[in-house]
Structure formats: C-alpha cells, structure tokens
Amino acid sequence: MSVVEEMLKTYPKDLGGIDQAKLAACIAACLECAQACTACADACLSEDMVAELTKCIRTNLDCSDLCTTTATVLSRHTGYDANLTRATLEACRTACAACADECERHAGMHEHCRVCAESCRRCEQACAELLGSL
C-alpha cells in the first residue's frame, strides 16, 4: 500500500462517493509528473541547444506547478468543493497534454523529454479517469 492510499484510509470522515483507487492513482501520477517535469526542465537547461528548448522548459515548469497544485487539492477533503476539484483536474489535464506534446517533439533527441512525455500522458489519463468518476 502506498503512502497516498494509506493517508486516504486514515481520513476520519467518509470521503463520499469518490473512487479511492482512482483518487490515489491520480495523486500519485500528479506527484510523479511534477517531478519528471521539473527534472526535464533542468535537463533542458543543461543541453547545448538550450535556446531551442525555451518553450519546452516553460511548459515543463507550468505542468509541474499544476500537477503539484492538483495533488495538493486532491489530498484535501475537509470542506470539499466538487467544482474546484473538477476545474483543477481539467487544468492539470490540459497542462499535461501540452507538456507531453512539446516533449514528444524533442523525444528523439533528448531521452529526458521522452520520459517526461510518458509521465505527462499517464497523469493526463489519471486525471481523465478521476474526472469520469466524479
């Protein structure tokens, strides 16, 4: 059992009708993606052709911030606001799709972009699955 799952199980109140497995998977995917995007941006900054990776770096950092925020919002249940949760998940999905698209453009030349794009696609899918269950 992951720490995410364990923390969800320790919540003292009922989480309502939310699918806890999808919630845990989405939180974990968001945290993984945030790390991958931060690391990819940093790796891009170390590339000789850094000027050509400006959009990739910016997209990585935006995606990382949105994934971190989404994981944080999803980890809070007191005073739950379904509309805010949906909007946050949609924003994260959008950021992940944009970042994956951008990183895929560079994946043939930069392995870190390939790894990042795959993580973004997993996170995008996890957000979509959780949204579908709300």
Q: Is residue 75 part of a domain?
A: yes
Domain membership of residue 97 (yes or no) is yes
* 132, two tokens: 């579908």
Q: What is the DSSP string of 75-91?
A: T--TT--HHHHHHHHHH
Total number of domains in the chain: 1
Q: What is the CATH number of the domain that holds 89?
A: 1.20.1270.360
40-89 residue pLDDT tens: 999 999 999 999 999 999 999 999 999 999 999 999 988 788 899 999 99
Alpha-carbon Rg for the chain, nearest whole angstrom, is: 16
First to last CA, the chain: 23
| Domain boundaries, position 111 | 19-133
Q: How confident is the model over 90-115, as pLDDT tens digits? A: 999 999 999 999 999 999 999 999 99
Domain membership flag for residue 11: no
CA distance readout (Å), 42 to 64, 66, 95, 101, 109: 12, 17, 18, 18, 16
